[in-house]
Amino acid sequence: MQVTEVFYSIQGEGRRMGVPTTFVRSTGCHLRCTWCDAAYAFYGGEKRSLDDLMAQVAANPSKEVCFTGGEPLLQKDAWDFVTRLLGEGYTVLIETSGNISFARANQYPPEQRARLCISMDVKCPGSGMADKNDLSLLKDLRAPDQLKFVIADRADFDFAAKVVREHGPFPCPVYFNPVGGTDAKAITEWLLAEKQPLDVHAGVQMHKLIWGDVPGR
């Protein structure tokens, strides 16, 4: 598997925010979001065996793993890696864009599926990639998962709200995260002003509040 970095930090967003986690960042992405904070993972990286990756994950004390990118599901060994992690008792979060099927996740036994979180990122217009979304994938979300929208402005908020209203309710939490992760005030005020409440969370990126926009954190 082509990997840009493996590091130990806290999960900065979503339902596992604040939990010590080993991050495995794969190399390569088929999208080019305008606000991407991991563009350094588009190219390069190092070819790593699954045995090598498993050993590096095991060297950290946490049983939480975030498989991210780039786009991790582009890796041909992605599901083999996830299967091995789940088989050894890890809880796994896969950060994936909203246009690659993750239906394979629902083939795991219930005990393992409960430890697998698909974090599906629906692209808003501000990303420049909204035309790449495949909203048919929303049907594959399950209770352990999360749905995320990265929001740059009011147009993005309105787009995300429309998706939630037209395709929800969802079996998992929904997060509206601000671009940059440092100021959720506008999103919070927009949510509070909604006449028909949205069943979503105003999110932040905790790791950026602590360390700033630093690779490996």
Q: pLDDT per residue over 104-141, tens digit each?
A: 999 999 999 999 999 999 999 999 999 999 999 999 99
Whether residue 42 contacts residue 84, with contact meaning beta carbons closer than 8 Å, is answered with: no
- Predicted structure pTM score: 0.93
The pLDDT of residue 216 is 59
Q: Does domain 2-211 have CATH number 3.40.920.10?
A: no
Residue 103 has pLDDT above 60, yes or no: yes
Q: Look at residues 123, 145, 163, 149 and name the one whose alpha carbon lies nearest to residue 33.
A: 123
Provide the 8-state DSSP code for 217: -
Residue 217 has pLDDT above 60, yes or no: no
The pLDDT of residue 180 is 73
| Residues whose CB falls within 8 Å of the CB of residue 197, separated by 6 or more in sequence, listed in order | 191
| Residues whose CB falls within 8 Å of the CB of residue 23, separated by 6 or more in sequence, listed in order | 5, 6, 7, 8, 9, 65, 66, 68
